Amino acid sequence: MSIDKLIAEDQPASFAFTEENEAEIVKILAKYPEDKKASAVMPLLDLAQRQHQNWIPMKAIEEIANRLGMAEIRVLEVASFYTMYNLKPVGEFFLQACTTTPCMLRGSDDMMRCIKDRYDIASGETSDCGRFTLLEVECLGACVNAPILQVNDDFYEDLDYETTGKLLDSLEAGTPLPVGSVKGRQGSESEQGATSLTALKAEAEKV
């Protein structure tokens, strides 16, 4: 994909970190030797994104490159490689849907279909209301509770068509469902509850 398609056409004229983030940058840079400041590029990109309505403008790329003594293209390479960074505006709810093998086998197609039916969007698109952006991503690292949908910073697990719809309803209403398994599973245990160390569980319940 051309980098031009990843970068927003409308860009702010300037970017400056807030006073709060300036203090955070001092803490971040203190973790690295002076000649290894480039190692801080990812946390600084994250700070810029959180400050700027969940996307990173080119002026922020320039600022970070200047802070770390890097070529701007090197910072842009990092920002454009990872799906966790957005180089153009996204909706209030950034939906990152895992569709790799474990999630696909557990029904991620139904999860994706529910989002498409609701907002008529595909990966990389934003709903007409402007509140929801969908992105199909690689493994989110929670395969035991597949399929997974990441909403901003939160994981929702064990989704199907119906429960995805209920999740979207809750987001629209401003009352998000509790994060984690929508089926109430704890960790990666069976839906029927613990199947091992049951004697210990029974003892714990007596206390």
pLDDT digits (tens, 9 = 90+) for 109-164: 999 999 999 999 999 999 999 999 999 998 998 888 999 999 999 999 999 999 99
With cut-offs at 50, 70 and 90, classify the pLDDT of residue 78.
very high
- The answer on pLDDT for 98 being more than 60 is yes
pLDDT score at 20: 97
Peptide bond into 178 cis (omega under 30): no
Query: Are the C-beta atoms of residues 171 and 151 closer than 8 Å to each other?
Result: yes
88 contacts: CB under 8 Å, gap ≥ 6 = 6, 7, 8, 55
Residue type, 145: N
- The answer on pLDDT for 4 being more than 60 is no
- Report which of residues 80 and 3 the model is more confident about: 80
pLDDT score at 115: 97
pLDDT score at 73: 96
With cut-offs at 50, 70 and 90, classify the pLDDT of residue 200.
low
Query: Are the C-beta atoms of residues 88 and 8 closer than 8 Å to each other?
Result: yes
pLDDT score at 2: 44
What are the extents of the domains in the chain?
3-81, 93-181
pLDDT score at 165: 96
Was domain 3-81 assigned CATH 1.10.10.1590?
yes
Q: What are phi and psi of 59, to 5 degrees?
A: -65, -30
> pLDDT by residue (tens digit) across 15-74?
999 999 999 999 999 999 989 999 999 999 999 999 999 999 999 999 999 999 999 999
With cut-offs at 50, 70 and 90, classify the pLDDT of residue 198.
low
Name which of 182, 206, 205, 178 is nearest 194 in CA terms.
Answer: 205
User: Do the domains spanning 3-81 and 93-181 agree at the CATH topology level?
Assistant: no
- The answer on pLDDT for 190 being more than 80 is no
CATH of 93-181, one of 3.40.640.10, 3.40.30.10, 1.20.1370.10, 3.75.10.10: 3.40.30.10
- The answer on pLDDT for 83 being more than 90 is no
- The answer on pLDDT for 3 being more than 60 is no
**Global confidence as pTM:** 0.81
pLDDT score at 9: 87
